[in-house]
């Protein structure tokens, strides 16, 4: 039996497909393990972006505290930092370590976040914006960290200063070579040091602005991790700060070349290369990788399924689709026809990813309507409601046995690969709850499984959450009370969890009353229900 599938959209190059699948194999067990350990809501792997935001605030607050005690002059910078980590280790020293370790962790969470979004293929098509605006964030974060190391004015700072000057001096932007500042102590001016302090404050502020821009194209972006998770991250940082405080290396001395320096591999992994390869080669590498990263959403361009479309006679401007769209693609505009409603919905096709969530949220999306040409207020041209209704009827015809189970599956979850009695959707939240009512009351199946992505890894960000809220009666359109809950199951499982998916589906089917033991559902009021619907 073949499953009804939505429009194919995931065109990709073989190498990229391979890389994504490989990464998913690494991430998936991590995510599932973290879900079990922390609960899906607290899963840190699904919160890498919010944790990065949180770390920024830890770095900002600890930085402001350090600034109170830090001497911004080149002569006393080192001794003020020694004072912080020495006699005042218990407050300023801990803050210094927090500042250092939160910055290091920011690099880790940012890189893991980038790889995770890539592996989930959430960066192409109309979702290019967050990816593209993420690339400058890498630069701003690195430059913020590098200017920070410079300020301590110890041996590592001296090394950073000399290599950075070498890198910058290939561009004729400064009147005289920067490297001249580091020839002898007499050459190093206080003004230059003040410029560094200014940069170390200004660049993180630009980073913050960039982070704000980064999330502008998604609705209800989460920028704060759950409180408990934030507390755990902070507690871990404080513990590491007390166990291994961040300390300076020997004071900078421009008359000497330091024998050995401890490099910070989070921020300075490329610095040793500058000496081996030369400045131009390193610039070529950094600019080349950044350009390639920035171009990735178009390598290859996504095959864009048609955007959602409004059918004005069926739209009353209720705002539900606007509330539910995860990508800010819908807004309400003044009415353009004679209907007695002040507003109508309008879709921006450049922002729509064709997830279908809006179709699932529209009050007009009810398969009970008797019209031949079933229409709804907002529909997906690639898989319209009328076709969805035909698909469930066709899938029902293929079901047999005493306990017939129909699966309404998200194509990104474990159920998407199932081949028996499945109707697949780009997102489970495209399923209007009335479709389940329709299937059960019309006796098209004995039980319905709604199978989505794993709980904390919803491909469309909010699909799992909206579905749960609709079924719990907490969000419109909610699942009607008359739908027998024992005949409905939800399974949240990733494509790597087909074993669990199959086992849960089989257990659900086994628990259903056999057909012979039940009165035919239609006789229980299915047809009456049809008439009662709009
Ligand atoms: C300072 C560094 C960064 C921070 C604080 C950050 C934070 C975030 C946050 C909070 C979200 C929204 C999560 C949600 O509510 O769904 C997000 C989404 C995203 N980020 Fe980042 N991010 C950073 C760097 C990057 C980088 C370097 C890239 C890739 C180049 C990237 C790519 C993405 C993508 C593709 C999304 C998903 C957009 C979607 O679902 O359509 N981010 N980021
Ligand atoms: S299909 Fe609907 S919910 Fe999904 S992005 Fe497009 S307008 Fe938004
Ligand atoms: S949910 Fe349907 S009726 Fe409500 S505004 Fe959107 S398209 Fe119109």
> H/E/C letters for each residue in 483-506?
CCHHHEEEEECCCCCHHHHHHHHH
What's phi and psi for 421, nearest 5 deg?
Answer: 60, 40
Ligand 1 atom closest to the Cα of residue 123 is 35
Q: How far apart are CA 333 and CA 330, in angstroms?
A: 10
CA distances from 207 to 50, 53, 56, 110, 134 (A): 15, 11, 9, 13, 10
Q: Is the CB of 414 under 6 A from ligand 2?
A: no
Domains and CATH numbers, the chain: 39-296 (1.20.810.10), 309-532 (no CATH)
* DSSP structure string for 203-270: HHHHHHHHHHHHTTTSSS---S--HHHHHHHHHHHHHHHHHS-----SBP-TTS--S-----TTT-TT
Give me ligand 2 centre to Cα 281, in Å: 44
Q: Ligand 2: which residue has its CA nearest to atom 2?
A: 358
Q: Is the CB of 409 under 6 A from ligand 2?
A: no
Res 520: pLDDT: 53
Q: Ligand 1: which residue has its CA nearest to atom 11?
A: 49
Q: Is the CB of 466 under 6 A from ligand 2?
A: no
Q: How far apart are CA 454 and CA 411, in angstroms?
A: 12
Give me ligand 2 centre to Cα 405, in Å: 29
Q: How far apart are CA 12 and CA 10, in angstroms?
A: 6
**Residue appearing with tokens 């939160």:** 102
Res 523: pLDDT: 43
Q: How far apart are CA 444 and CA 436, in angstroms?
A: 10
Ligand 2 atom closest to the Cα of residue 347 is 7
Ligand 2 atom closest to the Cα of residue 325 is 3
Q: Is the CB of 135 under 6 A from ligand 1?
A: yes
- Nearest ligand to the C-alpha of residue 429? 2
Res 377: pLDDT: 97
Ligand 1 atom closest to the Cα of residue 111 is 27
Q: What pairs with residue 378 in β-bridges?
A: 310
Res 134: pLDDT: 98
**Residue appearing with tokens 């404050």:** 201
Q: Do residues 385 and 411 touch, judged by C-beta distance below 8 A? A: no
CA distances from 12 to 25, 121, 143, 236, 510 (A): 18, 10, 33, 40, 39
Ligand 3 atom closest to the Cα of residue 332 is 5
Q: Do residues 85 and 246 touch, judged by C-beta distance below 8 A? A: yes
Q: What pairs with residue 333 in β-bridges?
A: 344
Q: For residue 477, say if its preceding peptide bond is cis, omega within 30 degrees of 0.
A: yes
Phi-psi region of 349 (alpha: psi -120 to 50; beta: other; left: phi over 0): alpha
Give me ligand 2 centre to Cα 183, in Å: 60
Q: Ligand 3: which residue has its CA nearest to atom 4?
A: 318
What does the pLDDT profile of the chain (534 residues) look like in tens digits? 344 444 445 678 889 999 999 999 999 999 999 999 999 999 999 999 999 999 999 999 999 999 999 988 877 889 999 999 999 999 999 999 999 999 999 999 999 999 999 999 999 988 999 999 999 999 999 999 999 998 999 999 999 988 998 899 888 777 677 777 776 666 777 777 888 899 999 999 999 999 999 999 999 999 999 999 999 999 999 999 999 999 999 988 878 887 788 899 999 999 999 888 999 999 999 999 999 999 999 988 888 789 999 999 999 999 999 999 999 999 999 999 989 999 999 999 999 999 999 999 999 999 998 777 899 999 999 999 999 999 999 999 999 988 999 999 999 999 877 777 799 999 999 999 999 999 999 999 999 999 999 999 999 999 999 999 999 999 999 999 999 999 999 999 999 999 999 999 999 999 998 776 665 544 444 443 333 333
Give me ligand 1 centre to Cα 134, in Å: 6
pTM of the model: 0.92
Q: Is the CB of 222 under 6 A from ligand 1?
A: yes
- The token duo for 515 is 């057909």
Give me ligand 3 centre to Cα 426, in Å: 19
Q: How far apart are CA 507 and CA 405, in angstroms?
A: 11
CA angle 190, 191, 195 (to 5 degrees): 115
- H/E run at residue 201: helix 190-214
Q: Do residues 134 and 49 touch, judged by C-beta distance below 8 A? A: no
Res 519: pLDDT: 57
Q: Is the CB of 310 under 6 A from ligand 2?
A: no
Q: Ligand 3: which residue has its CA nearest to atom 8?
A: 315
């Amino acid at each position: 039996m073949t499953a009804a599938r939505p429009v194919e959209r995931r065109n990709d190059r073989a190498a990229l497909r391979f890389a994504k699948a490989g990464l998913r194999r690494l991430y998936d067990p991590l995510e599932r393990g973290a879900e079990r350990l922390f609960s899906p809501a607290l899963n840190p792997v699904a919160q890498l972006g919010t944790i990065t935001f949180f770390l920024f605030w830890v770095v900002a607050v600890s930085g402001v505290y350090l600034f109170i005690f830090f001497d911004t002059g080149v002569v006393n910078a080192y001794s003020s930092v020694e004072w912080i980590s020495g006699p005042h280790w218990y407050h300023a020293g801990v803050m210094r370590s927090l500042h250092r370790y939160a910055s290091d962790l920011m690099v880790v969470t940012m890189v893991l976040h980038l790889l995770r979004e890539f592996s989930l293929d959430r960066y192409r098509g109309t979702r290019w914006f967050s990816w593209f605006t993420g690339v400058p964030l890498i630069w701003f974060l690195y430059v913020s960290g590098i200017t920070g190391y410079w300020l301590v004015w110890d041996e590592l700072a001296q090394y950073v200063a000399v290599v950075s000057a070498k890198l910058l001096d290939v561009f004729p932007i400064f009147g005289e070579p920067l490297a001249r500042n580091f020839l002898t102590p007499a050459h190093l001016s206080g003004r230059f040091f003040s410029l560094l302090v200014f940069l170390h404050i200004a660049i993180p502020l630009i980073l913050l602005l960039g982070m704000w821009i980064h999330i502008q194209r998604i609705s209800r972006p989460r920028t704060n991790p759950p409180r408990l998770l934030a507390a755990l991250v902070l507690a871990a940082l404080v513990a590491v700060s007390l166990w291994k405080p961040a300390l300076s290396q020997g004071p900078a001395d421009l008359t000497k070349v330091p024998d050995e320096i401890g490099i910070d591999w989070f921020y300075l992994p490329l610095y040793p290369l500058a000496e081996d390869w030369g400045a131009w080669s390193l610039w070529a590498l950094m600019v080349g990788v950044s350009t390639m990263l920035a171009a990735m959403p178009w390598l290859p361009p996504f095959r864009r399924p048609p955007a959602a479309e409004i059918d004005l006679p069926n739209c009353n401007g209720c705002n539900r689709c606007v509330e539910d769209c995860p990508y800010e693609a819908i807004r309400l505009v003044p009415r353009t026809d004679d209907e007695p409603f002040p507003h109508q919905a309008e879709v921006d096709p450049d922002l729509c990813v064709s997830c279908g969530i809006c179709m699932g949220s529209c009050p007009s999306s009810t398969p009970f309507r008797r019209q031949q040409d079933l229409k709804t207020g907002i529909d997906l041209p690639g898989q319209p409601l009328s076709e969805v209704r035909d698909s469930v009827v066709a899938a029902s015809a293929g079901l047999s046995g005493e306990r017939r189970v129909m699966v309404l599956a998200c194509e990104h979850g474990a159920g998407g690969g199932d081949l028996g009695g499945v109707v697949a959707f780009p997102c489970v939240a495209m399923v209007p709850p009335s479709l389940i009512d329709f299937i059960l009351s019309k006796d098209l199946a004995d039980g319905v499984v709604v199978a989505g992505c794993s709980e904390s890894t919803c491909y469309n960000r909010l699909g799992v959450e909206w579905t749960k809220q609709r079924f719990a009666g907490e969000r419109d359109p909610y699942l009607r009370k008359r739908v027998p809950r024992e005949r409905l199951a939800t399974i949240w499982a990733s494509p790597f969890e087909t074993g669990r998916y199959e086992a849960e589906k089989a257990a659900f089917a086994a628990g259903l009353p056999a057909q012979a033991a039940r009165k035919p559902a239609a006789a229980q009021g299915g047809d009456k229900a049809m008439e009662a619907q709009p």
